[in-house]
Amino acid sequence: MKKPLLVLVLLSYLFNASAQEDAWVYFKDKPNVAASIANPISILTQKAIDRKNSHNVLIDERDVPVNENYISQLKGATGITVMAKSKWFNAVHVRGSETDINSLSATFSFIDRIDFANKSLNTIKLVKRKSKSKLESAFTIFTYGNAANQIEMFNGHELHLANYTGTGMTVAVLDAGFPNVNTMTSFQRLRDAGNILDDYDFVNRDADVYTSTASNHGTLVLSTMAGYVENQYVGTAPDASYYLFITEDASSENPVEESYWVEAAERADSLGVDVINTSLGYTTYDNVNYSHTTANMDGNTTFITKGANIAFEKGMLLVNSAGNSGGGSWGIVGAPADAAGVLSIGAVKADGTYAAFSSRGNSTQPTQKPDVVAQGQASYVITESDVIGTSNGTSFSSPILAGGVVCLWQALPDKTNAEIMQLVRESASKYSTPDNFLGYGIPDLQAALNTTLSDVDNYDEDEDLKLFPNPTNGVIRFNQSELSVTIFNILGKQVLETTTGTNNQIDVSSLSKGVYVARIQSENKTKTIKFITY
């Protein structure tokens, strides 16, 4: 009777040894880093360089591509499939058996570490590493039809009247399929203007995002920003330019989708994209060993959230759906909506009241989540059949508001991504009394614009003094040295007074999370800047 048991044990061992696992393989170095940074046009487009320069975003080692020779060697390894790559993390996402993946470290000296998606397989404790951070006169009048309420809710139509319709701004939509966008009459205006700049399917590794029937989600999402039907429907940023990227595999739930997303965000950054809209979120997976927990939604744990925070540091403005788990056991926002560097959008009904499905924030997140809300219940969209209809979800409140944010940034091009995000929050209906259902509430983008344009604060005369990153979780850096910095809490009480010295930074890790005001003084100039700690 023992022999069958032994056979079963051996079969179980063989099965487990050959089962396919997902993992991230991190490399130790990159080629030609100094030369690439010194000649950034070799690794970035001119538009990306211009955006970074205008917003004081450093070009650093993370902008340098991954060593393709390393990737080629991994592709030749036994049992290994390379699924995605990330220059920001200097890593690739691989798939193979646990044994084959673990053997990579012994085979290739350029590997720094391996991190399995199944966390129980990570027998070596990982050391948490800190990232290296080195107006127009013409008027446009639209008839919005059914889409009127969802843009008027945050006064986005007022920006359109002032001719801020997204012109000159670039948006990347990271989503599932975009069927028929290339033929629908609802996107004819967008195509005729040449405003679909490019597309790519990171899941299937091809340049066709239009024929997949697995999901129409991307088409619906894009319609809320860029759709146009004369006198019947107008998206919230109809004159912006768009990149369409598929990063979601609609046929399954696997953490490789987080890697696809990071890879797409990196490409968006290199192309000079201003705003990314993502109506996706990641919590649990088909393989329960890969699933995240609600405790992981802490703004800095999941791969995609860490990637989103780097994208924020790179100067892009990320808008993300909060999630549709409000009525379920999960309840809270998913990744990457939990990131401090992401503007997370919850959902309300047409009358501005909370939509019960909208995912909530909680104390796990380092900053208030959701950040703000927009109409996500009975949102008007255009289907792949060129028919105007309604749909529910933060998948739609996110792009609806993202388009408005695009127009606001067009009106205020000298503002950084963090400054635009904070203007949106400060304009919202519950800014002084936020909660975990509506966040800071419904924004008023026209008020945000008016307040900024009418600001006569003498401190704003000097646009050369800047601090970053914002939000921060420990250190603030400045673009000048030898500065005197006094920090006040939101009640006006002084909580810190110090100088930057020659290293251009100060440590604020002792401050509780919240909103603060920094008064920065150089030899002959002074400026005040709000910042957030988490």
Q: Which two tokens stand for residue 225?
A: 């920003």
Catalytically annotated residue among 63, 100, 175, 269: 175
Asked if residue 277 lies in contact with residue 319, where contact means CB atoms within 8 angstroms, the answer is yes
Backbone angles phi, psi at 521, to 5 degrees: -125, 125
Does residue 373 sit in helix, strand or coil?
strand
97 is known as an active-site residue = no
In terms of Cβ atoms closer than 10 Å to its own Cβ (0-12, 13-18, 19+), residue 41 is exposed
- C-alpha–C-alpha distance, residues 135 and 347, integer Å: 31
State the Cα–Cα distance between residues 341 and 175, nearest whole angstrom.
19
Q: Are strands 111-116 and 20-27 parallel, antiparallel or unpaired?
A: antiparallel
Omega of the bond prior to 370 within 30 degrees of 0, cis? yes
Question: Is residue 29 among the annotated active site residues?
Answer: no
Copy the structure tokens of residue 511: 């401050």
Q: What is the DSSP letter of 53?
A: H
How far apart CA 481 and CA 132 sit, in angstroms, is 19
Please answer whether residues 323 and 289 qualify as being in contact, where contact means their C-beta atoms are separated by less than 8 angstroms.
Answer: no
Angle subtended at Cα 317 by Cα 315 and Cα 320, rounded to the nearest 5 degrees: 145
Handedness of CA 241, 243, 248, 249 (dihedral sign): positive
Q: Take residue 48 and report the two structure tokens written for it.
A: 């990306």
Catalytic hit among 93, 157, 160, 217:
217
Number of helices followed by number of strands (H, E) in the chain: 14, 22
Q: Which of 241, 270, 325, 395 is catalytic?
A: 395
Judge whether 175 counts as a catalytic residue. Answer: yes
Cα dist from 155 to 120, 430, 448, 490, whole Å: 49, 16, 10, 27
Cite the active site residues: 175, 217, 395
